[in-house]
Amino acid sequence: MINYTNTLRKHKLKATPQRIAIVDALFLNGHMSTEFLYSIMLAKFSSISLATIYKNINLMLENCLINEVKIPHAKSVYELTKSSHSHLLCKKCGNIEDVAIDLEELVDKISKITEFQIDKTDFILSGNCKNCH
Q: Point out which residues bind a second copy (CB under 8 A).
A: 68, 70-73, 88, 90, 97, 99, 101, 106-107, 110-111, 114-130, 133
Residue in 19, 23, 77, 87 binding DNA, rule: CB under 7 A: 19
Q: Which of a second copy, DNA, none does 68 bind, CB closer than 5 to 8 A by kind?
A: a second copy
Amino acid at 71: I
User: CB 105 → DNA: shortest distance, Å?
Assistant: 35
125 binds, among a second copy, DNA, none (CB under 5 to 8 A by kind): a second copy
CB 55 → DNA: shortest distance, Å?
6
Which one of residues 49, 84, 111, 128 is an interface residue with DNA (CB under 7 A)?
Answer: 49
| Own/partner pairs, 93-100, CB within 8 angstroms, 24+ separation | 93/129, 93/131, 93/132, 95/129, 96/30, 96/31, 96/69, 96/71, 97/129, 98/30, 99/125
CA distance linking residue 87 with residue 121, whole number of Å: 11
For the CB of residue 74, give the shortest distance to DNA in the complex, in Å: 11
54/19 Cα distance (integer angstroms): 12
SS3 label, residue 97: strand
From CA 94, how far away is CA 88, in angstroms rounded?
Answer: 10
Tell me the closest approach of the beta carbon of residue 71 to a second copy, in angstroms: 8
Residues that bind DNA (CB under 7 A): 5, 8-9, 13-19, 34-35, 45, 47-52, 54-56, 58-59
